[in-house]
Chains A and B, each alone.
Chain A
């Protein structure tokens, strides 16, 4: 009898050991949406259907996988959208239609991303500016910089060598016929970020800081360094997303507009807790796929863009309400 009580007490206690208690509901939602898309458009099960879907979702998925680092550590990164714009505009300016320049332009863009992340992290950690304001300031600054660099009207196009990552499909693969390079980039970035978040000390320290910064500091977590790393990861993922988006779309100064909010939405749909302490990379990627799937579905049904905004708003709120409800029922905080 007493043993029974112990074991029954352990069962609800089990989720607290740090593992995900059950399968995250976002995966079920994603599966349901994919079925719904297939029902409304049977072509979706063809490789061209789902591969194009994954290709389109790749930048947002990478962005969300980076954003979750900052969210888990308790902050926000609003500067990613403008960093995408800066990456696309800056690359087109540096490349200047010269296809051979790609190999050094991409490292330069990553260096810019690194610098942006470090500055964000330094401002938040040492100047103690809340990340909302710090990255908002960075967003305004980077947007201005993109405009300044291109004198307001970016011109030219990105050469094929640069668009390779976002655009090219590797042909002739058995079973799936073709494989977009963007998808490979997403898988590589996603699995690296998964490993970094869930299999290393850094991930544990990020969770600790987000949960209780003071306690983390007392137990010897180098708060500043971990914070800066989180912002750097987010910025580098934004540059990656920017390179992919540069491959899909043309050069313009509003490529990245709205991506920061979509990335945060994706993380929230994936069950991340704003202000820190809870979040997972695969769930955020699934959140990004879910968001893209919703847009795709609404598109197939033939709803106009305004309705999509309303739906995104409602989904955002419902996702958070459900997450809060689940947490409260589980007795956590």
Chain B
């Protein structure tokens, strides 16, 4: 009997640690290529920080997306919300340091509003989350494009501290990301809301039968998701000095954040996964980019390989499951 349970438990263990395995593999390839090309300056702590620094916007968005996917939903509106946040923040600040706080507040409120609307559409109107957030994305895009041109503005130099400033030798933005990640981990691991997220994502009907107010959990997860997207919009505005309505879509933050979350071992149907997997996924993504840069892969070939790697990484642990996926 003990061997039977052992055999049954083994695959789940592999599944649990597979993001770490993938991360180790990516790291190994990176180090091997750097060594074989004799580029040891890419193996210093500074290089590590610069690799991480490149994926801050994706990281913040992906943390939020993790909540949406864990609860059994999905958010396709993040990319457009990022653009909207960047545009609105730079329009409100308009180079005036005194307007920094109001702009941040307005942008975060806007994120909360979008998240609430997404959540309400999904719970009250029972719209499929893909369609609800896709519709929201189109609406945001339309609003942005029709206001574009009337909005100008740029962020004041003081606000660029968010993207370029350093505290104790570490980039400030990286520390913000770390705080967001740890906060998300604490919420998911140690709070009632966190365990509600897992139970609602696992089986909404059972969760409701167990007395969880499932609608509230879904709405709250969507609000968190949109807040994270707004934050990454603020970061991008700070980095690029002004917002453009194509920021989010050009970075493909909607699909990339989903891919990162799924590579991190969170399953699309919800209820299983976690923040650290997502973090591993983000690092894997930026390592892949760095590997391609080191090896000097052509930009288009890079895209082809990227598509294949996303599918292969997900297949890496999906292939063992016996469930029939859609």
Q: By the criterion of a CB under 8 Å from any partner CB, how many residues of chain A are at the interface?
A: 54
Residues of B within 8 A of A130 (CB): 262, 268-269, 314, 318, 325-326
A34 at the interface (CB under 8 A from B): no
A123 to B304, CA, bound (A): 16
Residues of A within 8 A of B37 (CB): none
Residues of B within 8 A of A328 (CB): 126
Contacting residue for A310 out of B131, B143, B305, B311, CB 8 A: B143
CB closest residue in chain B, given A148: B300
Query: Is A129 touching B315 in the complex (CB atoms < 8 A)?
Result: yes
Query: Is A131 touching B325 in the complex (CB atoms < 8 A)?
Result: yes
Contacting residue for B311 out of A134, A223, A274, CB 8 A: A134
**Given A137-B307, A145-B304, A147-B300, are A313 and B321 also a contact pair (CB < 8 Å)?**
no
Residues of B within 8 A of A314 (CB): 135, 139
Minimum distance in angstroms from A129 CB to a CB of chain B:
5
B125 at the interface (CB under 8 A from A): yes
Query: Is A133 touching B262 in the complex (CB atoms < 8 A)?
Result: yes
Binary flags per residue of B102-141, CB closer than 8 Å to A gives 1, else 0: 0000000000000000000100011110111011111101
Query: Is B326 touching A275 in the complex (CB atoms < 8 A)?
Result: yes
A307 at the interface (CB under 8 A from B): yes
A143 to B138, CA, bound (A): 22
Residues of B within 8 A of A142 (CB): 307
Query: Is B325 touching A306 in the complex (CB atoms < 8 A)?
Result: no
Query: Is B310 touching A133 in the complex (CB atoms < 8 A)?
Result: yes
Query: Is A313 touching B139 in the complex (CB atoms < 8 A)?
Result: yes
Query: Is B307 touching A144 in the complex (CB atoms < 8 A)?
Result: yes
Query: Is B303 touching A144 in the complex (CB atoms < 8 A)?
Result: yes
Query: Is B259 touching A136 in the complex (CB atoms < 8 A)?
Result: yes
B168 at the interface (CB under 8 A from A): no
A179 to B321, CA, bound (A): 52
Contacting residue for A144 out of B139, B141, B300, CB 8 A: B300
A320 at the interface (CB under 8 A from B): yes
Query: Is B314 touching A276 in the complex (CB atoms < 8 A)?
Result: no
Residues of B within 8 A of A275 (CB): 128, 326
Minimum distance in angstroms from A195 CB to a CB of chain B:
25
B216 at the interface (CB under 8 A from A): no
Query: Is A127 touching B134 in the complex (CB atoms < 8 A)?
Result: no
Contacting residue for B301 out of A132, A148, A304, CB 8 A: A148
A330 at the interface (CB under 8 A from B): no
Residues of B within 8 A of A134 (CB): 311, 314
Query: Is A261 touching B268 in the complex (CB atoms < 8 A)?
Result: no
Residues of A within 8 A of B308 (CB): 137, 141
Contacting residue for B304 out of A148, A306, A308, CB 8 A: A148
Binary flags per residue of B124-168, CB closer than 8 Å to A gives 1, else 0: 011110111011111101111110000000000000000000000
Contacting residue for A313 out of B137, B145, B304, CB 8 A: B137
Residues of B within 8 A of A198 (CB): none
Give the bracket for the number of chain B residues in contact with chain A: 35 or more
A147 to B323, CA, bound (A): 36
Residues of B within 8 A of A152 (CB): 300
Query: Is B139 touching A320 in the complex (CB atoms < 8 A)?
Result: no
A124 at the interface (CB under 8 A from B): yes
A268 at the interface (CB under 8 A from B): yes
Residues of A within 8 A of B128 (CB): 274-275, 320
Query: Is B139 touching A123 in the complex (CB atoms < 8 A)?
Result: no
Query: Is B325 touching A124 in the complex (CB atoms < 8 A)?
Result: yes
A237 to B172, CA, bound (A): 50
A73 to B326, CA, bound (A): 8
A138 to B310, CA, bound (A): 9
A207 to B301, CA, bound (A): 38
B324 at the interface (CB under 8 A from A): yes
CB closest residue in chain B, given A216: B324
Query: Is B310 touching A136 in the complex (CB atoms < 8 A)?
Result: yes
Query: Is B311 touching A317 in the complex (CB atoms < 8 A)?
Result: no
**Given A268-B131, A316-B134, A316-B138, are A127 and B306 also a contact pair (CB < 8 Å)?**
no
A80 to B30, CA, bound (A): 33
Residues of A within 8 A of B31 (CB): none
Minimum distance in angstroms from A252 CB to a CB of chain B:
15
Query: Is B127 touching A127 in the complex (CB atoms < 8 A)?
Result: no
Residues of B within 8 A of A141 (CB): 303-304, 306-308
Residues of A within 8 A of B269 (CB): 130
A134 to B126, CA, bound (A): 26
**Given A141-B307, A306-B143, are A129 and B135 also a contact pair (CB < 8 Å)?**
no
26 contacts between A and B (CB under 8 A): A74-B326, A76-B130, A123-B315, A129-B314, A130-B269, A130-B318, A133-B268, A136-B255, A136-B307, A137-B311, A140-B303, A144-B300, A144-B304, A145-B300, A217-B324, A223-B324, A274-B128, A307-B142, A307-B146, A313-B142, A314-B135, A317-B121, A317-B136, A320-B125, A320-B132, A324-B126
Q: Beyond the given A127-B315, A147-B299, could you list 9 further A-B residue pairs with CB under 8 A, ordered by the A residue number?
A: A123-B311, A130-B318, A136-B310, A145-B300, A145-B304, A148-B300, A307-B142, A313-B137, A321-B126
Q: Which residues of A contact B (CB under 8 A)?
A: 73-76, 123-124, 126-134, 136-145, 147-148, 152, 213-214, 217, 223, 261, 268, 274-276, 304-314, 316-317, 320-321, 324, 328
